[in-house]
Amino acid sequence: MENRYTAEVAILGTEELLGLLQAREEYEPEIILAVIAELQIRQVQVPDLEELKEQTQAAYKNSLELENQSQSSSGKTSDMFQVFVPQRGYFVTPVLLNLNLLVFVVMLLLGLNFMNPEAGQLFAIGGNYGPYTLSGQWWRLFTSTFLHGGIIHLLLNMMALVSVGRQLEQMIGRTPFLVSYILCGLAGSLLSVWWDGTRVSVGASGAIFGMFGLLLLLMALERKLTWKEKKAMLGNLVLVIGINLGYGMKGGIDNAAHAGGLIAGSILGAVLMLRSNRVISANYSLVGTSAMAGAGLVLLSILYTVIPFTGQKRYLYTMDQVAQKEAVAMQTLQKLSEAGEEAKAAVFAPQLETGVKLWDESETLLEAIDDVEGTGKDRVLVMLDYVRLRKISFQMLHDDLKQNRPLLNPKQQQVLEAINDYATTLQQGKESEEIANRNQVIDVDMPEVILKGDESESPEGNLSNDYGQMKVLVVIDGIKVGYKTADEEPAQLAGLDETKIENITVLKGKQARDAYGEEGANGVIEITTKQ
């Protein structure tokens, strides 16, 4: 007579069946009845097998009667809690279940929302986010598999984990199950980053889909069970996988992680079948499992290194890094403002030098972005001008402190006004308008503002090559009248009546060089007077 364990014991070897029979007191009567039935089918001679069968049937009948009598709420609660308790044939699954639940409790204690935590909070505690995962924080591929986006997300995944774990773990054993779970989780996270690395991804679904894929391959490749015996199980598996993939098509679901886990699980299932000659076994060797784990990690590491860290992922990472460096540098400015006239060069000059290095690092990061278009490209260009002005401002403050000059002299005020304009542009999202006007006519009150060209560089932290030494070509009504620095200016410019100025144009970088050759390498100030 068939029962719910008939198909599972049919794939076991004869020695394993005899072992179960010998340790029959540790198992349910229904399992032992299935073992006895399989031994009889194989015509294995076992002493007193019929007598043992009758005893087991009686025990099974008694257990059914007891089960029917225990329908109280306390009994149901006790059965429910069994899914959390590690036991023989079901050890790793409850450990993973409890670990996911514990992590969720910690998330709540940290203040994350019960139903829908914010992406920034999930990132802060280890969520999978391409700009950082691909820039060296590879461990996010693993930690994200234990985080969930709310209680519903958690419960759905844990129900699926228990469902597949109860069946699969006793088939292949603890260690292969755990190794496969981890590898599938990593594969899901990796494909998620490759497919769309601009959002925070969390959840155990990649690993769980991997377990479904592994079980599917085990059933498909196993050679002892008949197609009739496999058909129902395979049909259910395909249906579950199809429903979940279909559900993943809706917005907000990380189907890439599902697919990555499923592919990895299918590959691992094929490997396990190859290792056991297409017979499912719970006794895979530790050496072979270790080799499988090592090969999987090496392959995933290679895939991690070949995912391009370009485009939007690098843009988002760079912008965040620039913001962090800005926050650190601006602390010095805040302290300097609080000190006011009491500011001492011995205290603040080293901090300003550090600030210059931070702005220089930000400039280098921004200059490396050459593969974004549209508003992203405009924002990078405006941020570059903003960062360069900040660097000039810090250099000026450093020199003013060293030379005991007033910190808010006219030159510094003009730079700060330009910085405020750029900051307003960035806050209001009007970078495209700023780009359209960046090299055109500017206010006559700003002739002192000198922007370094896009192609010019200065040694990191070299304050001797500061704004006071930058020679900017001055052209009045089309005539080159000499060079201007922050400390000196041509006589024609010094004697020029501002009321007679029609407009002033600042040329930088390539535009200045194209118009005036190497004479305009540091920039050009073109002044047109009223005729």
Q: Are strands 501-507 and 524-529 parallel, antiparallel or unpaired?
A: antiparallel
The DSSP symbol for 46 reads -
Give the separation between CA 389 and CA 69, rounded to whole angstroms.
Answer: 82
Which pair of tokens denotes residue 312?
Answer: 């939007």
- Residues with catalytic function: 205, 258
Q: What is the 3-state secondary structure (H, E, C) of 357-410?
A: HHHHHHHHHHHCCCCCCCHHHHHHHHHHHHHHHHHHHHHHHHHHHHCCCCCCCH
DSSP 91: S
Instruction: Calculate the dihedral angle through the C-alpha atoms of 97, 103, 109, 110, rounding to the nearest 10 degrees.
Output: -160
In the Cβ-directed half-sphere of 368, how many Cα atoms lie within 13 Å? 16
What is the full DSSP assignment across 485-517? Answer: -SS---HHHHT--GGGEEEEEEE-HHHHHHHHG
504 close to 444: Cβ distance less than 8 angstroms: yes
**Identity (one letter) of the amino acid at 431?**
E
What is each CA distance from 506 to 2, 159, 447, 519, in whole angstroms?
89, 66, 8, 14
